[in-house]
Amino acid sequence: MNGAGNMGHLGSDKCYAEIKGTFYFRNLGRRLRKFIEACDNCQRSKHMNRAYDVMERHQVPKSPGQLCAVDLYGSLPTSLGNVKFISVCYDMFTKHVKLLPSSQLQQKRA
């Protein structure tokens, strides 16, 4: 029940669920947990089980136009006026959407 290459085992619960249908002996679960705890590969590639403390910053707009989400949609089939792209502007306070047609894409870094 070893992972691909040096990734380690799936964890004691998943390994036990896979093995218990094929093998049976006393204290299979306990022996499997001890084996996985002693596995060098598992200990080297083990991921943390607890969440990291992350400060989330929520920006809640207090008036219209204070916070807008902007996106570019395209390339679309060419329509009248040689339009291939649509710029989308979404006001987070009023939920108002403004669509602006564009014939060419210009990329600028912010």
Q: How far is CA 5 from CA 12, 14, 73, in A?
A: 18, 18, 41
Query: Which residues share a beta bridge with 102?
Result: 85
> How big is the CA angle at 32 (ends 31 and 33), to the nearest 5 degrees?
90
pTM, rounded to two decimals: 0.41
pLDDT in tens, 3-22: 444 445 677 788 888 887 78
**Residue 58 burial class via C-beta count within 10 angstroms: exposed 0-12, middle 13-18, buried 19 and up:** exposed
pLDDT at position 11:
72
Higher-pLDDT residue of 12 and 47 is 12
Average pLDDT over residues 95-109: 78
> Is pLDDT above 80 for 34?
yes
